Structure 1
Amino acid sequence: MWSRKRFDIDYSDLIYGLGAALTVGNSQGQGLQKELEDWWISDLTGEAVACLSVRSGWDLLLQGLQLPPGSEVAMSALTIPDMVSIVRHHGLVPVPIDLDPRTMAPDPASLDRAIGPRTRVIIIAHLFGGRVDLEPILAARDRVGAILVEDCAQAFTPGFRGHPDADVSCFSFGSIKFATALGGALLRVRDPQLADCLRQIQSTYPVQDSGNYTLRLLKYLGLKTLSSRAGFTALIWGCRQLGIDYDRLLNQSVKGFPKDELIWRLRHQPCAPLLALLRRRLQGYSEKRLAEQTHRGQRLIQLLGEYCPQIRVPGVAAMPNLHWVVPILAEDPEIAIATLANAGFDSTQGNSMTVVESPETDPEWEPRNTREMFEHLLYLPCYPAMDDTTLVSMAQGLRPISSPSVSLFLRMGSP
């Protein structure tokens, strides 16, 4: 069985992290953080801020901005639930921006409707490895005097630090991201005073427990082994023998912070071993890995067009696109998952994303396209270890699967 995802980290990196947990003390944390931030920003405008996670950085930013209660935050309608929870925690109103399913960029009409005089922040997510053209959003930002945040968690490439005119660009190095350090994030903040404010707030936080980070490294050492084809097949067999839902088990194994502890968990400084491993991952990261992933994604999409042209691929028109994941739309995702499993491929709907609800006072802002798409969304396994024969086999296995024949997908056009 081919697993749904393979972690973008080598055994040597995990061993380095475990060594750092034993030898790098938190007294070295400030020096490591400054070195990492200086390297990240290099000769670009603005400053960098290293955080525990993108969610930590998002919470820091909303603290630093001190927006009046009831201010609106216009958001890409598809995001992770915690980003919405943090907005509400600060007494702000999340407003969804509906997305064009072919590009995953904001729909122009929805963008105009969502951004108004009460908008103080606009946050746009680059999804599935594609990148959104920010020029229309920059124009909307300037029209209302808001700040623009771009969430680049799914769009990391070496040398890319975000759009130069974005006010804040956020990069995540969590467990399933490219160049993962099993945590950590870097923000490029265009306004140096705002960056200083974020650092000052973060300096009051307790430091992440190095022991917990060590346990995380050990956990992913095991998960990496289980993500191999043989290891994953054995895992599924064992779960079936014990009556365990392996899909739920896998989702829980890479789950982030518990909801009832979210804000407390976010408000920690990254520990020194995490900063040391993040520095190693980023400064030594090769573009070859991303080139291989991009090629595999492009090839899979080509094969889907050949063997099952009825399948729709969200974000297919986004350029550039690294194909961090390859999503498809299935009329019945559960049937599609079972069909692929019988062919030897583990796919998942996942539970890490959500659709932003429209404000109660403005139900007409419902992100209809995004919600309709989300109900049928399915992620296919696709990574460099899967050769062409394997990808052909998966595409052929999808022949009996159909995408929903509704207006949303007619508007999408061909895959």
Structure 2
Amino acid sequence: MWSRKRFDIDYSDLIYGLGAALTVENSRRHELQNELEDWWISDSTGEAVACLSVRSGWDLLLQGLQLPPGSEVAMSALTIPDMVSIVRHHGLVPVPIDLDPRTMAPDSASVDRAIGPRTRVIIIAHLFGGRVDLAPILAARDRVGAILVEDCAQAFTPGFRGHPEADVSCFSFGNIKFATALGGALLRLRDPQLADSLRQIQSTYPVQDSGNYASRLLKYLGLKTLSSRPGFTALIWGCRRLGMDYDRLLNQSVKGFPKDELIWRLRHQPCAPLLALLRHRLQGYSEKRLSEQTHRGQRLIQLLQEYCPEIQVPGVAASPHLHWVVPILAEDPSEAIATLANAGFDATQGHSMTVVDSPATHPEGEPRNTRELFQHLLYLPCYPAMDETALVSLAQALRPISSPSVSQFSRMSSP
């Protein structure tokens, strides 16, 4: 069985992190953080702030901005639930921006509806490894005097620090991201005063426990082994023998913070071992891994067009595109998952994202395309370890799978 995803971290990196957890004292935390932040912006403008996670950075940013209660935050309609929860925690109103399924970029009509005089922040996510053209969003930002935040968690490349005109660019190095350090994030801010404000707020937080971080590294040593083809096959067999839902088990093993503890857990400074591993990973990261992932994604999409051309691939028209994941739309995702499992491929709907609800103040802003897309979304396994034979077999296994009609999406057929 091919697992749904492989962690982008080597055993040597995990061992390096464990060594750091044993030898790097938190007294070196400020030194490591300063070195990492200076390195991150050495070839770009602005200031960098290292955080525990992008969600921690998002919470920090909203604290630093001190927006009036009831201010609106226009958001890509597809995001992780915690990002929406943090907006509401600060007394702000999330307003969804519907997405064009072909590019996963904001729909122009939805931008006009969602961004208005009460908008103070606009946050746009680059989804599935594609990158959004921010020019129309920058124009909308300037029109209303908001700040623009780009969520680059799924669009990392070694030389990319975000759009130079974005006010804040956020990069995540969490469990399933490229160049993962099993945590950590870097924010690039154009405004040095705002960056200083975020650092000052973060300095009041307790430091992440190094022992807990070491336990995470040990857990992922095991999970990395289980994500190999023999290891994952054994896991599936064991779960079935014990009557366990392996999909639920896997989702729980990589999930984030519990909802009732979200804000408290976010408000921690990254520990020294995390900063050391993150610097190690980023400074030694090769583009070869990303080029291999991009090639596999492009090849799988070519094969889908050959064997099952009716299958819709959200974001296929985005450029550039790294294919961090390869999603498709299935009329019946549960049936598709079972069909692929029988062929030896572990596909998943995933439970890490949500559709932002339109507030009562924006009844015309229901993100219809995004909500319809989300109901049919399915993620395929696709990574460098999968050779041509595996990709061909995957595409062939999808032949009996139906996609929803393109007429269900207002812009899916747009060029």
Q: TM-score range with shorter-chain normalisation?
A: over 0.9
Structure 2 counterparts to residues 142-161 of structure 1, below 5 A: 142-161=142-161
Which residue in 2 is equivalent to 1:246?
246
Q: Structure 1 stretches of 5 or more lacking a match?
A: none
Listed one character per residue, the Cα deviations across residues 128-175 of structure 1 (whole Å, up to 9, x for unaligned) are 000000000000000000000000000000010000000000000000
Listed one character per residue, the Cα deviations across residues 305-346 of structure 1 (whole Å, up to 9, x for unaligned) are 000001000000000000000000000000000000000000
Contact 1:311 1:402 in 2 (8 A): yes
- Using the alignment, how far apart are the partners of 1:43 and 1:410 within structure 2? 41
- Using the alignment, how far apart are the partners of 1:270 and 1:314 within structure 2? 34
After superposition, the Cα gap between the structure-2 partners of 1:13 and 1:80, relative to the gap in structure 1 and judged at 3 Å, is same
Confirm whether residue 338 of structure 1 aligns to residue 305 of structure 2: no
Q: CA deviation at 1:45?
A: 1.4
Which residue in 2 is equivalent to 1:82?
82
Listed one character per residue, the Cα deviations across residues 358-384 of structure 1 (whole Å, up to 9, x for unaligned) are 002322210000000000000000000
Aligned length: 415
Q: CA deviation at 1:409?
A: 4.4
- Using the alignment, how far apart are the partners of 1:382 and 1:410 within structure 2? 28
Which residue in 1 is equivalent to 2:210?
210
Contact 1:308 1:398 in 2 (8 A): yes
Q: CA deviation at 1:410?
A: 7.2
Contact 2:369 2:409 in 1 (8 A): no
Confirm whether residue 35 of structure 1 aligns to residue 35 of structure 2: yes
Which residue in 1 is equivalent to 2:363?
363
Which residue in 2 is equivalent to 1:48?
48
Which residue in 2 is equivalent to 1:111?
111
Structure 2 counterparts to residues 119-158 of structure 1, below 5 A: 119-158=119-158
Structure 2 counterparts to residues 9-408 of structure 1, below 5 A: 9-408=9-408
- When normalised by structure 2's length, the TM-score is 0.99
- Using the alignment, how far apart are the partners of 2:135 and 2:358 within structure 1? 24
Contact 2:100 2:411 in 1 (8 A): no
Q: Structure 2 stretches of 5 or more lacking a match?
A: none
Contact 1:312 1:414 in 2 (8 A): no
Q: CA deviation at 1:411?
A: 3.8
Amino acid in the other structure paired with 1:48: A
Listed one character per residue, the Cα deviations across residues 226-285 of structure 1 (whole Å, up to 9, x for unaligned) are 000000000000000000000000000000000000000000000000000000000000
**Secondary structure class of the residue paired with 1:403:** coil
- Using the alignment, how far apart are the partners of 2:413 and 2:84 within structure 1? 31
**Secondary structure class of the residue paired with 1:187:** strand
Q: Percent identity?
A: 90
- Using the alignment, how far apart are the partners of 1:208 and 1:378 within structure 2? 34
Amino acid in the other structure paired with 2:50: A
CA RMSD of aligned residues (A): 1.0
- Using the alignment, how far apart are the partners of 1:408 and 1:159 within structure 2? 38
Contact 1:102 1:412 in 2 (8 A): yes
**Secondary structure class of the residue paired with 1:282:** helix
**Secondary structure class of the residue paired with 1:412:** coil
Listed one character per residue, the Cα deviations across residues 78-99 of structure 1 (whole Å, up to 9, x for unaligned) are 0000000000000000000000
Q: CA deviation at 1:44?
A: 1.7
After superposition, the Cα gap between the structure-2 partners of 1:332 and 1:414, relative to the gap in structure 1 and judged at 3 Å, is farther
Listed one character per residue, the Cα deviations across residues 41-72 of structure 1 (whole Å, up to 9, x for unaligned) are 00421100000000000000000000000000
- Using the alignment, how far apart are the partners of 2:82 and 2:411 within structure 1? 30
Contact 2:330 2:402 in 1 (8 A): yes
After superposition, the Cα gap between the structure-2 partners of 1:43 and 1:295, relative to the gap in structure 1 and judged at 3 Å, is closer
- Using the alignment, how far apart are the partners of 1:125 and 1:339 within structure 2? 31
